[in-house]
Structure 1
């Protein structure tokens, strides 16, 4: 097995098609919206992320070119507690149902953490369903108790506490490590835009 990393729009067509199929498996399009695809119910031309978030695709492949698991990494500068941080987060994490329970998703999520750590980002920050907290912790991420990510825009916010979500993080730079406590119980202005409203 190997992990392949691409700028999202440079993902080879055959691999991208497999990724979209996995996303549709995990998040089936609504019956009245057959053009929807992926985790966000996006557009018919491939359900791309907002290019302003510098999306990166990470794929776990078998010894051939079969995608076993995939995720996307999004990037954005955020301001919190009067400080600016380079933040990166996970989106659309999915493992093929036929290969679940074998550690493939955990391996990919753990590698994503190391990629983010090595990228120069100050921190990794994202939300997940509450019942997936243990999965992400087993891959090295930590819970940020009481934290709420506020996505969307300042004029049209989408806070994560509207859903049964928890906030996970990795604090990598010295500045992020020093001020990690300021994220606990805080509302964190992610403001990721109107395409990827929350990650």
Structure 2
């Protein structure tokens, strides 16, 4: 088994097709798996510098996948380089073996090594324990504001929690400003919320 990382649009077509098929298992589209086209326009906003991380077995099968998005965020009068997880999924046939946890923990470490100030994203409330087991931390009371300033998309519209990891001394010294706050992520209209 190995973890491979690509700029999203440079992901080899065969691996991208498998990752899209895993996503279709988790979030069924209006099309069938046979209709999934790796050259489709189901891409993240390039302004978010998307990277794809895949856990691949020795036979070339994608077991788990996720994307990492990046953006500068203003919060509490300071600017932070933020990176977050998106489209985290493990194939139904491979769940319960720790593959997703392995990939999510790897992504956390990659974010730390990238120079980002913090990793931050939302997840369904029932997945909080899963992300905590991979080293992420709950940001109590934090709401990520997705969308844009003119068309906000706050995470408190859903049963979501905000997870984070403070990577740099700057971010760690101001971590408490992120709890019980509204954080203007504003990633745009393509990737409305991470």
TM-score, L = length of structure 1: 0.93
The structural deviation recorded for 1:64 is: 2.0
Identify unmatched segments of 5+ residues in structure 2: none
Task: Determine which of 175, 184, 190 is the counterpart of 1:189.
Answer: 184
The residue number in structure 1 matching 2:11 is 11
The structural deviation recorded for 1:22 is: 0.5
- For 2:88 and 2:60, the matched residues in 1 are separated by 18
Equivalent position SS for 1:64: coil
The residue number in structure 2 matching 1:2 is 2
The residue number in structure 1 matching 2:65 is 70
Is the 2:105–2:134 contact (alpha carbons within 8 Å) kept by the matching residues of 1?
Answer: yes
Equivalent position SS for 1:111: helix
Is the 1:20–1:46 contact (alpha carbons within 8 Å) kept by the matching residues of 2?
Answer: no
Equivalent position SS for 1:131: helix
Aligned length: 192
Identify unmatched segments of 5+ residues in structure 1: 38-43
Equivalent position SS for 1:170: strand
- Call closer, same or farther: CA 1:36–1:99 in 2, change over 3 Å: closer
The structural deviation recorded for 1:14 is: 0.4
Q: How does 1:1-199 map to 2 (within 5 A)?
A: 1-30=1-30, 45-199=40-194
- For 1:144 and 1:30, the matched residues in 2 are separated by 34
Q: CA RMSD in A?
A: 1.7
- For 2:185 and 2:50, the matched residues in 1 are separated by 15
Q: Which runs of 4+ in 1 moved over 4 A?
A: 34-37
Is the 2:20–2:36 contact (alpha carbons within 8 Å) kept by the matching residues of 1?
Answer: no
The structural deviation recorded for 1:30 is: 3.4
The structural deviation recorded for 1:45 is: 1.3
TM-score, L = length of structure 2: 0.96
